[in-house]
Amino acid sequence: MNMRNAFHKSWKKFRQFLLAILSCSLVVMFAGCGTQNATQYEAAALTILTWQANYANTSTEGKLGRFEEFASVSLLNINGERPENAAFGPDDQGLWWAKIPPKPSLDEIEARQKRAYEKPGKPELLRQVKYHITYQQDGQNITLPTNHAVYRQVVKAYPKNIPLQLTMGINNGSVEKATPINN
């Protein structure tokens, strides 16, 4: 019976220890994840088109080789409005894009080959988007990375100047959500 009681006491202490560690972990994980109300804000999406080629050591290696980037262009979208130099768009995400950069020539691709046994692949056009939001806090402009959902929410709220509640990410290092504040 003593052995059984000792086991239950040890198990109870172990469970309390695990619960304490879990609680501390949650506190650390959510520390700095606050909210901020914003009445002046701007959302930006940087659209980037880049040619790249894969250099594989063998034909069976496929995508496991190294990648080389070639010509690249970018275009800054602000609040969903058409940028002056936009070549096409808006796409199904509401984004505008620059003119496609020139495709690398065979000579350019072969010039980047580092070893004789490397086999260069066909050039591929990569599409990337980097989002950020700028808002005012205590008279200062704060710019943080964000995501497509926040960008779209700002695009909808901006023309009507609707105040937004911004939900911050870990350590207030990003904006994860934007919610209209109804007055």
Q: What is the pLDDT of residue 31?
A: 46
Task: Provide the number of structural domains found in the chain.
Answer: 1
Q: What is the pLDDT of residue 17?
A: 53
Per DSSP, the chain holds a count of helices (H) and strands (E) of 3, 8
19, part of any domain: no
Q: What is the pLDDT of residue 51?
A: 98
DSSP category for residue 157: H
Three-state secondary-structure class, residue 143: strand
Q: How many CB atoms lie within 10 A of CB 75?
A: 20
DSSP secondary structure of 4-60: HHHHHHHHHHHHHHHHHHHHHHHHHHHTT--EEEESSEEEEEEEEEEEEEEEESSTT
151, part of any domain: yes
pLDDT tens-place values along the chain, 183 residues long? 565 565 556 656 655 654 555 454 444 444 457 999 999 999 999 999 999 999 988 655 555 789 999 999 999 999 999 999 999 999 999 999 999 999 999 999 999 988 888 889 999 999 999 999 999 988 999 999 999 999 999 999 999 999 999 999 999 999 999 999 986
133, part of any domain: yes
110, part of any domain: yes
Q: Where in the sequence is the domain holding 73, given as residue range(s)? A: 35-180
76/46 Cα distance (integer angstroms): 5
Bridge partner residues of 175 (DSSP): 168
